[in-house]
Structure 1
Amino acid sequence: MSLGQQLAPHLPFLRRYGRALTGSQHQGDKYVRATLEAIVAAPDQFPRDVDPRLGLYRMFQGIWSSANMDGEEQTSQSDAEGTEAVARARLARMTPLSRQALLLTAMEGFTPEDAAYLIEVDTSEVETLVGEALAEIEKQTRARVLIIEDEPIIAMDIETIVRDLGHEVTGVAVTRDEAVALAMEDRPGLVLADIQLADDSSGIDAVKDILAEFEVPVIFITAFPERLLTGERPEPTFLITKPFQRSTVKAAISQALFFDEATIPAAVA
C-alpha cells in the first residue's frame, strides 16, 4: 500500500484538528494542504518508524510550529482584525502548546505518549498542559448555549456537560423549525447541533437559518465526520464525532468559544 493510501483515511480528522486549532476552515485546511505538499515534495522525510496517522500529525505539527515560530501571517487583514485578533488576545494568557495538548488528547484521541511525541515535550508534561488549557479557557469563557439534538439521552448528556462548564442552556430543540424558533426567541452565544434530526430535517439547515439572522459559533455533532470534512466546500470548523467522550465535548466548546469575540472578558478585550 502506498503512503498516500495509508494517509487518506486520516485526512478528514487532520482537517478537524487543523480547523479546531486555528478556529477557521480556511486556515485549518491551508495547513493541511501545506502538510501534504511537504510530504509529496520530500517523502523520505516522512516518519516511517511510527504509525502513519501519528507521522501525518507530526508533519502537520512541524508545519504549524514553523509558521508560528517565524511569525508568518496565515490570515488576510480582515481575519487578523477579527478571529485571529481574538485568538492572539487570549494567547497572551495561555500558551499555544497547552491548546494543542488538549485538542490532541481530548478531541483527536491520542494517548499522552503520542501527544508528547507530536508536540515534542516529555510525556509527564502533557497532563499538566491539558490541565492548564482547560482551567484557563473555562475561566475565560461563559456562554448561553442552544442544543439541537433529537436523541433525549444524548441531549441530556450534552446539557449536563454544558452546565458543568458553567454555561447556560437556552433550550433543547429536536427539529429544524423548533431550533430556529428557540434561537430567535432567546439568542444563544453558541450552538451545538446534531446533523440528523427527529423529523428527518437537518441540523445543518437549521444552523443555516440561524446564521442568516445573526452570527454565532457552531459545533456540529455527527456519526459520520468524514462526510463533512472533505475540504471541498464550506464545512464545519468545529465537529464532534458520535459516540463522543465528555472530554471531547468540553474541548470543542472551549475551543469554539476561544475564537468567539463575544465571549472575551473585559480584561482581555
Structure 2
Amino acid sequence: MSKLKVLVVEDELIVAMDIAEQLRDLGAEPVGHAKSGEQAIELAGQLRPDLVMMDVHLASSMDGISAAQVIRDQFDIPCLFLSAFSGADSLARAQLTAPAGYLSKPFDESELGLALAAVSK
C-alpha cells in the first residue's frame, strides 16, 4: 500500500512544519505546503495529493473553506479541516464542502492518526 499523500495548507510555518512531522510519523507523505487558499488550489492541481489538510482561517483573501470547495469541485480531492476556532457559521460552511473531517487545533498525533485512518478507508 502506498503512503497517503497530503498537502498541508497552513499560514503559520511552525504549525505547518509540526503537522508535516506528525504526518511522517504516522506513515503519510507530506507532498507540499501552501500558505494561502489560492496557493492551495494551484498546488492541489499540480501535486494531486490524496488529501488536503486545510486551515479554515488563512491570512489571505481566500479562506480555507472557499479553497476547499474549489479543490473539491475541480480535482475531487477531499479536505480535512483544521481550526482553532469552531464557530457555528464556519462549521456550517465547511459542511457544504463534504469534508473528510474536522480537527480542532491544537490536536495530538493520535487524533490526526484517527482522521487519516478514516480517509484511507
Could you tell me the TM-score, scaled by structure 1's length?
Answer: 0.40
1:152 maps to 13
Which of 26, 32, 38 is the matching residue for 1:171? 32
Name the counterpart of 2:55: 194
Deviations 1:36-88 (A, max 9, x none): xxxxxxxxxxxxxxxxxxxxxxxxxxxxxxxxxxxxxxxxxxxxxxxxxxxxx
* Matches of 1:208 and 1:186, distance apart in 2: 17
Local SS of the residue matching 2:74: coil
Q: Check whether the contact 1:176–1:202 (CA below 8 A) recurs between aligned residues.
A: yes
What is the distance in 1 between the residues matched to 2:91 and 2:116?
Answer: 19
8 Å CA contact retained: 2:78, 2:99: no
Kindly report which structure 2 residues correspond to 1:107-118, keeping only aligned pairs within 5 A, or say none. Answer: none
The answer to whether the 8 Å contact 2:7/2:32 transfers is yes
Residues of 2 paired with 1:219 and 1:241: CA distance? 11
- Cα separation, partners in 2 of 1:229 and 1:195, compared to 1, 3 Å: closer
Equivalent-residue separation in structure 2 for 1:215 and 1:199 (angstroms): 23
Alignment of 1:218-237 (within 5 A): 218-227=79-88, 228-229=90-91, 234=96, 236-237=99-100
Specify which structure has the higher proportion of strand. 2
Aligned length: 118
Where does the alignment leave 5 or more consecutive residues of structure 2 unmatched?
A: none
Partner of 1:245: 108
**RMSD value, Cα:** 2.1
Identity of aligned residues (%): 37
Ranges of 4+ aligned residues in structure 1 off by more than 3 Å: none
In the alignment, residue 15 of structure 2 is paired with which amino acid? Answer: I
CA shift for structure 1 position 236: 3.4
Deviation of the 1:200 alpha carbon:
4.4
Larger radius of gyration: 1
Give yes or no for contact 1:225–1:239 (8 Å, CA) kept in 2.
Answer: no
Is residue 206 of structure 1 aligned with residue 55 of structure 2? no
Q: For 1:77-156, what aligned pairs fall within 5 Å after superposition?
A: 142-156=3-17
Identify if the C-alpha distance between structure 1 residues 189 and 236 changes in structure 2 by more than 3 Å, giving closer, same or farther.
Answer: closer
Deviation per residue, 1:168-209 (Å, 9 max, x gap): 222100001111111111110111000011224211111111
Q: Is 2:43 aligned against 1:182?
A: yes
Q: Secondary structure at the match of 2:75?
A: coil
The residue type paired with residue 43 of structure 2 is: L
Once the two structures are superposed, what CA deviation does each residue of 1:71-119 show, in whole Å capped at 9, x if it has no partner?
xxxxxxxxxxxxxxxxxxxxxxxxxxxxxxxxxxxxxxxxxxxxxxxxx
Q: Is contact 2:78–2:100 with CA below 8 Å preserved after alignment?
A: no
Write the distance in 2 (CA, Å) between the matches of 1:148 and 1:220. 9
Preserved contact between residue 192 and residue 218 of structure 1 (Cα < 8 Å): yes
Structure 1 stretches of 5 or more lacking a match?
1-139, 259-269
